[in-house]
Structure 1
Amino acid sequence: MKELLTYILQFGNLNPAQIALVSSKATELHLPKEEYYLQAGQVARQFGFLVEGIMRVCYYNHKGEEITKYFIDENNIVVDLASFDNNLPSTAYVQAVTDCRLIVFAKPDWQDLLNIIIGWDAIVHKITSKALLLKIERISPLVAEDATTRYLQFMEKYPILVNRIPLVYLASYLGITQSSLSRIRKNIR
């Protein structure tokens, strides 16, 4: 819970009673590796914060191939905002790449925070704006560069993630086959 509160307090101030209220509405969720936090077609019912682990957002293209759009690491929010805010079915899958620990808020509890805490909506707006910017930054650069350059850029930008993500997911994110990624890694060493 400490990680979540530290994160929230970057975006605004809360008094001790408000912090206690936020804490009382939160629950901890353990998600084993490969489990889904959200699946396409489901309506998002939780607003989450990733305390430990790595998650990925993916979808299936028209050929039925699984495509990884981006990864989410520790100290970031996990929510399909369009689905959560508008009760729409999600178009993506959110899956645990590693064992994950999240702090989650059920939608009714999240709504209670919005109704009770003055200024909570402003904090949430700042949090979601930051999350959207990170999402745009992290979305796979499929056609911007050649595969080797994309891999090198990923290694440079996310050095902590590169050895924690299975090659199959990393290859999908980079828009290449796993065997191509293995060749690139071999040639770099």
Structure 2
Amino acid sequence: MTAKEYFQSFNLFSENEIHAFLQLFEVREVGKNEYFVREGERCKEVAFIKSGIFRSFYMADDGKDMTYCFRFPNTMMAAYSSFISDCLSKESMQAITDAELMVLKKEAVDDLVHENINWIKFLKIIAEQEYLELENRFFQLQRDTAAQRYETLLRNHPDYIQNISLQYLASYLGITQRHLSRIRKEISF
């Protein structure tokens, strides 16, 4: 999916509008292990992931980094609470593969919102999707076993899972790498 197709899928913008605002995006290459945003910084951009995989994580009190989310191609990405509130980010977003992004500055988003009501609708949809994703993650952690969470990840992103290190997968699932190895042996897709 291209960025154009992504925005077309919302049925909010005309072809001319999409063409015009896509010109505002900056293409950015992000190398493996590089950051889109770091914990403690302000997130002043939003990105469409053209290629690559990102992980969102935070530092726990014991100094461990805790992966709580993966971002895959053809989705939008931002440290959302920092982006909308201009507060310091509580999360880091790191490329776990080489990636290509289309980046839009917050000022440009604010201008688009003032120029076109459909951007307000678009941002509302994105906020709703973020909420649903957060709720789904909460219920997964409360109701599903680690094996079930791993199966869901495999089912939803089979082409990308092999690019995520066991360390990050185990952190995301809330288990040890050893436990993850056992789960992987038991599950075959």
Fold equivalence (TM over 0.5): yes
Match of 1:125 in 2: 124
RMSD: 2.2
Amino acid at match of 2:178: S
User: Structure 2 length as normaliser, TM-score?
Assistant: 0.87
Change (3 A) 1:136 1:101: farther
Q: Distance in 2 between matches of 1:61 and 1:27?
A: 33
- Shift of the alpha carbon at 1:143? 5.0
Change (3 A) 1:12 1:170: same
Question: Any conservation in 2 of the 1:58–1:93 contact (CA below 8 Å)?
Answer: yes
Secondary structure at the counterpart of residue 93 of structure 2: strand
Q: Distance in 2 between matches of 1:107 and 1:176?
A: 36
Aligned counterparts, 1:1-12, within 5 A: 3-12=2-11
The farther-off stretch of 152-161 and 82-91 is 152-161
User: Structure 1 length as normaliser, TM-score?
Assistant: 0.87
Amino acid at match of 1:66: D
Q: Distance in 1 between matches of 2:116 and 2:77?
A: 22
Question: Any conservation in 1 of the 2:56–2:68 contact (CA below 8 Å)?
Answer: yes
Change (3 A) 1:69 1:171: same
Unpaired stretches in structure 1, ≥5 consecutive residues = none
Question: Any conservation in 1 of the 2:7–2:18 contact (CA below 8 Å)?
Answer: no
Change (3 A) 1:180 1:172: same
What do residues 49-69 of structure 1 show as CA deviations (whole Å, max 9, x unaligned)? 111111111111121111110
Q: Distance in 1 between matches of 2:106 and 2:2?
A: 21
Change (3 A) 1:183 1:22: same
Match of 2:56 in 1: 57
Percent identical:
30
Note if 1:178 corresponds to 2:177.
yes
Match of 2:113 in 1: 114
Change (3 A) 1:169 1:126: same
Aligned counterparts, 1:158-169, within 5 A: 158-169=157-168
Q: Distance in 2 between matches of 1:70 and 1:140?
A: 14
Match of 2:151 in 1: 152
Change (3 A) 1:146 1:115: closer
Match of 2:23 in 1: 24
Unpaired stretches in structure 2, ≥5 consecutive residues = none
Q: Distance in 1 between matches of 2:24 and 2:55?
A: 25
- Shift of the alpha carbon at 1:134? 3.0
What do residues 4-49 of structure 1 show as CA deviations (whole Å, max 9, x unaligned)? 2211122233234422320221111111111111111101010111
